[in-house]
Amino acid sequence: MNPVFPGSVNAAGQMATLGVMGGGQLGRMFVHAAQRLGYLTAVLDPDAQSPAGLVSHHHIQTDYNDPAGLSQLSDLCQAITTEFENVPAQALQTLAQARPVAPGAAVVGIAQNRIEEKAHFAACADVSGVTCAPYAVIETQAQLQAVQDERPDLLPGILKTARLGYDGKGQVRVKNAAELAAAWAELGGVACVLEKMLPLTAECSVLVARGWDGQVVSFAPQRNVHVDGILAVTHAYEGNMPTALATRACDAAVAIAHHLGYVGMLCVEFFVVDDGSEHGGLVVNEMAPRPHNSGHYTLNACDVSQFDLQVHAMAGLPLPQPRQHSPAIMLNLLGDVWFDANGQPREPDWQAVLRLPGTHLHLYGKVQARTGRKMGHLTITGPDVASVKTVARRTADLLHLPGLEAI
């Protein structure tokens, strides 16, 4: 691919423009990063009030599969990316006939389907050094019966829909065969995977950027805490997990990106399991073909953010190795923050929060707060881990955030 340089103008007098499929908060932060470099931006999203569309030079308000909208995006842009994995892969394939698209439709398609994703993890286990949890595919009544009869080792487990499950959605914990059958029926008998429940000691993720030429850079692994299936806290600082384990996770994520022939920003999530060893074993959970919630701290704690690298990768620019200059803790802000214990609306105490040292507030421009909806995040940075933890605990207490005991 020929690089798309920021600020360049083509023969038609059009300034270099980068496009993104999807208008959520990840698209908004991508748009900000691209504009800071000097690019124009275009967002395709059906929501008139989409966070990214509101701040972009162009907002194409159409369905993701709309031929006219896709044509307009192709005409405007020199390169195109996506901000969430459930953009139809076929739409990305259509765009790729006219413009460079990163990541490509094939790898986004893998991430959209847990069955294909787990098969990929298993296929590259020899090079990545890690594999996924034991699992079985359930697409038919016969497969359900076979699991019940032949794979009792998978119970207790978690039944997950193959498609459209995220932030704890489309997942049911099951203890026995009867609960498994009931859960599959509850999920509508759609294609699922049954994943064995493992003795988890921690969760972590690795952010990798890979260019068109195969160059790869990555951030150090971050340790994550989830509450009810939604990320609550990210710990990003030296010593957040054992060095040997962090190295394994980083090497595995890079290997997975290479195996996919990936281009763009990739997040690979891992479980740390109690396998009797000193620091525990590593199991790959899932991947996100885009920037990730757990990487938002890079906006304030690193000299290059995950969104900067997303822009560099898709545009064919060099990928600088990011450097983290401050320890950080990221706190997710869900819509719950805007309601008291009785469900009555309230304004968060930003006055008290923003008075604390090292607090960086990012709200996503969403007008309506709802329980469980991602409204923003707070990153706390400081000169050392102890001071960051102190401020993070105080912040979480002021905002009544979950996961306080994990800070």
The pLDDT of residue 168 is above 70? no
CATH architecture of 17-101: 3-Layer(aba) Sandwich (3.40)
Confidence of residue 167 (pLDDT cuts 50, 70, 90): low
The pLDDT of residue 98 is above 80? yes
Local structure of 24: helix, strand or coil: coil
Binding site members: 114, 160, 165-171, 195-198, 203, 226, 285-286
Please list the helix, strand and coil fractions of the chain in percent, rounded to the nearest 5, in that order: 35, 25, 40
Angle (deg, nearest 10), helices 177-186 and 141-150: 160
Handedness of CA 371, 374, 376, 380 (dihedral sign): positive
Tell me the mean pLDDT in the region 103-119.
95
Confidence of residue 86 (pLDDT cuts 50, 70, 90): confident
For residue 46, the one-letter residue type is P
Residues in the chain: 407
Mean pLDDT of the chain: 94
φ/ψ of 244, rounded to 5, equals -60, -40
Confidence of residue 403 (pLDDT cuts 50, 70, 90): confident
Whether 134-196 shares its CATH topology with 200-402 is answered no
Local structure of 208: helix, strand or coil: strand
What are the angstrom distances between the C-alpha of 260 and each of 110, 152, 256, 288? 10, 32, 6, 13
Q: Is the pTM of this model over 0.85?
A: yes
The pLDDT of residue 87 is above 80? yes
The pLDDT of residue 292 is above 90? yes
In the prediction, which pLDDT does 11 show?
72
In the prediction, which pLDDT does 164 show?
75
Tell me the mean pLDDT in the region 156-174.
84
Angle (deg, nearest 10), helices 25-37 and 306-315: 70
In the prediction, which pLDDT does 278 show?
61
CATH architecture of 134-196: 2-Layer Sandwich (3.30)
In the prediction, which pLDDT does 70 show?
98
In the prediction, which pLDDT does 279 show?
61
Confidence of residue 393 (pLDDT cuts 50, 70, 90): very high
Structural domain boundaries in the chain: 17-101, 134-196, 200-402
Task: Give the domain 200-402 fold.
Answer: D-amino Acid Aminotransferase; Chain A, domain 1 (3.30.470)
Q: What value, to the nearest 5°, has the Cα angle with vertex 49 and ends 34 and 63?
A: 85
Residue whose pair of structure tokens reads 């470099």 in the numeric block:
37
Binding site members for ATP: 114, 160, 165-171, 195-198, 203, 226, 285-286
- How much of the chain, in percent, has pLDDT values that exceed 90? 88
- How much of the chain, in percent, has pLDDT values that exceed 70? 98
Tell me the mean pLDDT in the region 233-244.
96
- Summarised one tens digit per residue, pLDDT across range 183-228 is 999 999 999 999 999 999 999 999 999 999 999 999 999 999 999 8
